[in-house]
Amino acid sequence: MAPVRLRHPKGVTTIQVAFDRDDFTVQHLQQEIYAASDILPSRQSLKAGYPPHALTLIPELPLASLGLKSGEQIIVSELVTDSSQRSSGPTSRNNPVTPVSPTRRGATDNMGPMPTTIPASTASPQSTGPDSVATDGGVLVHRIVPDDNSCLFAAISLIFEQTITKAPEMRKIVAEGIRNDPETYNEAILGMPPSQYIATILKPSSWGGAIDLGVLAAHFKTEISSIDVETGRIDRFSPPGDTTGGMRCVVIYSGIHYDAATLAPMAEAPSEWHQTLFPVKTSSEDDAVLVAAKKLASILREKKAFTNTSTFDLKCEARLKGEKGARAHAEQTGHVRFGEY
């Protein structure tokens, strides 16, 4: 059995399906979706991939006919023909709605309650919403997380858990990954004894960085692409042995802060409609999601939304120069909360 993530009107659910069994059919998948969403199989509209495309549902065929992969995300919505055919209340097993004949949908059609995509040409330049860039299947959105020394872990938690509240769990994953691989994560790599690094990274006040992204990429078997706002450089953290399963996520690095980038039908779409993992279409930076991420970094760069960590000034009880000065001061004094001049 392998996990598949469902995004449906009730929220997000992970189900287990059997990709390697011919007797596990599309109908079995639809029943699992029905159990999670209360949408009858005959009314289910399913989309997957990047950009999201409609899946052709033939219940008798094996699940493999849909071309899905382990860990893939499926967007589930309910088929309707017009507003008069919507139920007066939520669909349930005790109060089913008469099925509506399925209609074929394109990759950019509206999906039930999902907000309509706003074309880039008609979006208001004065929008007060998050920064975003139009790309295939929607817009790539800058998802800002709190600036509280745990931003890297909050961004990764947002991507893999759809919430920032699991940031402490991401720290534990890093600690465990380092503990279990002393050959890779030795004192020379970490810059300190592994036990000290583990104790440090578990503290909510400790910043995360490249080492932690590498551990998290290995744990989730997903490439983590980090876009540097100041330079536009892409640092790609891949699991060892090319075990990504063909998936990628994106974080945005401002020099002292990490945020996430996710795909939505429109910038103001509810968080439950955001896609956080993307199939790797190409290993080059021509991949559509990476192109959009670099454009998003350019927008932030034009706004000066980055910090040069070699020259920026910090204020604590003393005026400090650069990230190195901040780290040295923190080690000497225990101070961890800084503000930039």
The residues annotated as belonging to the active site are 148, 151, 257, 335
CA distance 272 to 210: 28
Strand 223-228, strand 247-253: pairing: parallel
Q: Are 143 and 259 in contact (CB under 8 A)?
A: yes
- In residues, how long is the chain? 341
CA distance 191 to 324: 14
Burial grade of 282 (CB within 10 A; 0-12, 13-18, 19 or more):
exposed
Q: In what order do the strands lie in the sheet with 2-8?
A: 11-17, 2-8, 73-78, 44-48, 53-54
Residue type for 279, please? P
CA distance 82 to 69: 33
CA distance 219 to 223: 10
- Other C-beta atoms closer than 10 Å to the C-beta of 192 total 12
Q: Which residues pair with 263 in a beta bridge?
A: 140, 275
Number of DSSP helices (H) and strands (E) in the chain, helices first:
8, 15
Q: Are 113 and 9 in contact (CB under 8 A)?
A: yes
Residue showing tokens 């993307």: 278
Output phi, psi for 109, to 5 deg: -70, 160
Q: Which residues of 284-303 are buried (b: 16+ CB within 10 A; e: fewer)?
A: eeebbbbebbbbbbeebbee
> Is the backbone of residue 49 left (phi > 0), alpha (psi -120 to 50) or beta?
left
